[in-house]
Amino acid sequence: MFDPTAFDNMKVIVEGILYDKDLDGDYLIIDRDDFMNLSKMNREFSITYKKNNVKSNVSCKFTLAATAKDLYSELLTSSEDVGCYVEQTFFFNKEIEAEILQRSLMLLQNHTEQQFNVFHNIKQSFFEKNKTETSLIIKFINKITEEEFDQLEELIHITEIMLQWFDEKY
């Protein structure tokens, strides 16, 4: 048996919250990935979900990532400043108005103290001219540590509000 790392503990928290919401019928888990880059010793966990209703055309991918530096700091120096980087990506199956995206970011800013960078992507299919996909990527700047578990719950709750809001505006 091994002592779980901060990454492992935080991953279990996120999984627990989202799978409970899936069991309750609030969310539908669409995808889940758990990667370890053996050449760099980086880890990444992501889980993609959407509101469990017929009208929902928006999904969210919640990603946790930890670097080798975090792992080494935790295992070798017992540093308490070890944590994970968090990223949220919202996917839309058509182009979405910039105003709706901007207003959603204001909603996010009002509900969290975390600082973040935002990336907006629009993809258009070469083969299907009418097929367009949009994604909104929110990368949080600071790591979230084990002592800040409540911030993970807060970010998931904010995601729930944003998914509801996108579904209403979309």
Q: Phi and psi at residue 28, in whole multiples of 5°? A: -125, 115
pLDDT over 80 at 85, yes or no: yes
pLDDT at 1: 42
Return the DSSP state at 141: S
34-73 pLDDT tens trace: 999 998 889 999 999 999 886 778 999 999 999 988 887 7
Q: Cα separation of 15 and 32, whole Å?
A: 10
The model carries a pTM of: 0.88
Q: Is residue 92 part of a domain?
A: yes
Q: Cα separation of 30 and 32, whole Å?
A: 7
Instruction: List the domain range (segments joined by +) for residue 27.
Output: 6-169
Q: Is residue 53 part of a domain?
A: yes
pLDDT band of residue 164 (cuts 50, 70, 90) is confident
Q: Cα separation of 127 and 131, whole Å?
A: 9
Q: Which has the minimum average pLDDT: 64-68, 103-107, 110-114?
A: 110-114
Q: Cα separation of 165 and 170, whole Å?
A: 8
Mean pLDDT of 67-95: 84
141 neighbors 116 (Cβ within 8 angstroms): yes
Q: Is residue 1 part of a domain?
A: no
pLDDT band of residue 98 (cuts 50, 70, 90) is confident
Tokens found for residue 126: 């070469």
pLDDT at 138: 93
pLDDT at 79: 67
Q: How many domains does the chain have?
A: 1
CA distance readout (Å), 60 to 29, 145, 148: 10, 22, 22
Q: Is residue 52 part of a domain?
A: yes
Q: Is residue 90 part of a domain?
A: yes
Mean pLDDT of 115-131: 81
128-144 pLDDT tens trace: 777 788 899 999 999 99
